[in-house]
Structure 1
Amino acid sequence: MPLLDHLIELRRRLIWSLATFVVAFLICYHFSGEIYRFLAAPLASIMRQKGEQPHLIYTALYEAFFTYVRVAVFGAFFLSFPMMAIQAWIFIAPGLYRNEKKAFAPFLIATPLLFLMGAALAYYLVFPFAWKFFLSFQQLGGENQMGIELQARVSEYLNLVTKMIMAFGVCFELPVVLTLLVRAGLVGTALLRRIRRYAYVGAFAIAAVIAPPDAITMLGLAVPLVGLYEISILAARLVEPKPITADDDGEEALPDSKDVA
């Protein structure tokens, strides 16, 4: 295809993606209250266990409105991502060989699944423990004692929750990234095994930067990252290209086409 036709096709795919996102945004904004209550459910559950009335506050007149808008954007991204991925595949696929399409197919399936696994780990496992830890610092006030009570803002809570969900989801893409690098021949499994100790340190460093400054959340991200790194090495061994060998005449023999596929 000429360059102009490629640009026209790209514009068509972008329009489809944008239209899907807009429709998903309108739907999510209609249910933004329900979505926010779902995101706040772990905190509300811990508050009820402590005998408190679950509540969040906002200190600016427009804060709640823009919080709902951001909730709708966050939900629209999740709803529209499959269509965006499909449009990207429709644009890229015609330029790939059949064996390249077969090689990329597992990654297209694994990418959203791993992201959802990471988001689910953050929501169902890390949030309850982390929120319980943070709420443990509250103190009841008395006649001669000043109390300490949580008054969380809706915007700050949304920032923390969405940041952690996205962080866990993106970090769970580690097997996809490393396997693609090995499949492309940029790195090898021998190198991944050799730098294992540095990867472990990097996992804890990334967790310390991304997660809130508490041991529970940091370990909740670092430990899965270490496990995913080991899984990445095992998965990469299955797709790693075989090295070029030399035949008896000294000529280099290329890998068999089935191996490349």
Structure 2
Amino acid sequence: MSEPNSLVAHLIELRSRVLKAFLSIFVVFLCLVYFAQDLYHWLATPLLDTLPEHAEMIATDVASPFFAPFKLTMVLSFFIAIPMVFYQVWGFVAPGLYKNEKRLVAPLLFSSTLLFYLGMAFAYYVVFPLAFAFFTSVAPEGVVINTDISSYLNFVLKIFFAFGLSFEIPVAIVLMCWTGMTTPEALRAKRPYVIVGAFVVGMLLTPPDIISQTLLAIPMWILYEFGIIVGSVYSRRKPDEINEEQELD
């Protein structure tokens, strides 16, 4: 009877953690929804600053002026609540981890959150101004740039996700080295292929211009090198050292 009871207890705990995660997102949403229009204007600033004179953003759908800021607020609420979501994940899995595993997972949860935020900040403050300046400068003569607000929102959200996920490369490398899936030496040997792959990924995840592709590929390469350095620290540990910690725990 202990195993079924244990399973039920775990399911109840999981439900509680999931509800708390969703509640944290909802609370952030309630705090931000009043400022939805201001948040959208802040998001659109990199494009508005590069638009030619007399050019402006437009809404081609009747409900876009409401739904575009509303959608942005929901997505932004999730982004802001990510630390609380990860905390609930940590609270659920931590009791079943060994001491050495706890020492790794906790920093990884923190660093993955920080790196995701850094990726988004890099996209907003570096990529957007350069990319939008390029787009507006190559418009054919006689073409008036009037960007739809919903299309713009979908565009920038894709870029945010692309850069946020790409900045998680060091976390993925550390996990692979720690679990023994690969070694820093093997990763260094694959460096030429990774550089080419970074530009291919940049081509697939960003708009079809060399600026955005390069601005994604170069950080991915730098983060790859950084991940190798950090991963080499964790991969140096011998299996018997880990087993000793597990026995002591």
* TM-score, reference length from structure 2: 0.91
Q: Could you tell me which residue of structure 1 aligns to residue 50 of structure 2? A: 46
Cα deviations by residue, 1:172-202 (Å, 9 ceiling, x for unpaired) = 0000011111111111112111211111111
Task: Tell me what 1:248 maps to.
Answer: none
- Equivalent residue number for residue 209 of structure 2: 214
The Cα of 1:26 is off from its aligned counterpart by 2.4
Structure 1 partner of 2:119: 118
Q: What stretches of structure 2 of length at least 5 have no aligned partner? A: none
Aligned pairs, number = 243
Aligned to 1:9: 13
Between the two structures, name the one with larger relative contact order (CA 8 Å, sep ≥ 6). Answer: 2
Unaligned runs of 5+ in 1: 141-146, 245-253
Post-superposition Cα deviations, 1:150-172, rounded to whole Å, max 9, x if no partner, equal 01000011011111111101100
**RMSD (Å) for aligned C-alpha atoms:** 2.0
Match of 1:92 in 2: 93
Question: Displacement, 1:139?
Answer: 5.4
User: Aligned pair 1:151/2:146, yes or no?
Assistant: yes
Instruction: Mark the structure with the bigger radius of gyration.
Output: 1
Alpha-carbon distance in structure 1 between the residues aligned to 2:146 and 2:227: 42
Q: CA deviation at 1:96?
A: 1.0
Mapped contact 1:46–1:128 kept (Cα < 8 A): yes
Distance in structure 2 (CA, Å) of the matches to 1:87 and 1:24: 16
8 Å Cα contact 1:211/1:218 also seen in 2: yes
What's the TM-score, normalizing by structure 1? Answer: 0.87
Higher helix share: 2
Give a deviation string over 1:8-65, Cα, whole Å, max 9, x none. Answer: 0000011111111122222222211111111111111223xx4x24631111111222
Instruction: Report the alpha carbon displacement of residue 242 of structure 1 after superposing the two structures with TM.
Output: 4.1
Q: Distance in 2 between the 1:80 and 1:117 partners?
A: 15
CA distance in 2, matches of 1:111, 1:54: 39
Question: Which of 3, 18, 21 pairs up with 2:22?
Answer: 18
Report % sequence identity: 37
Residue aligning to 1:79? 80
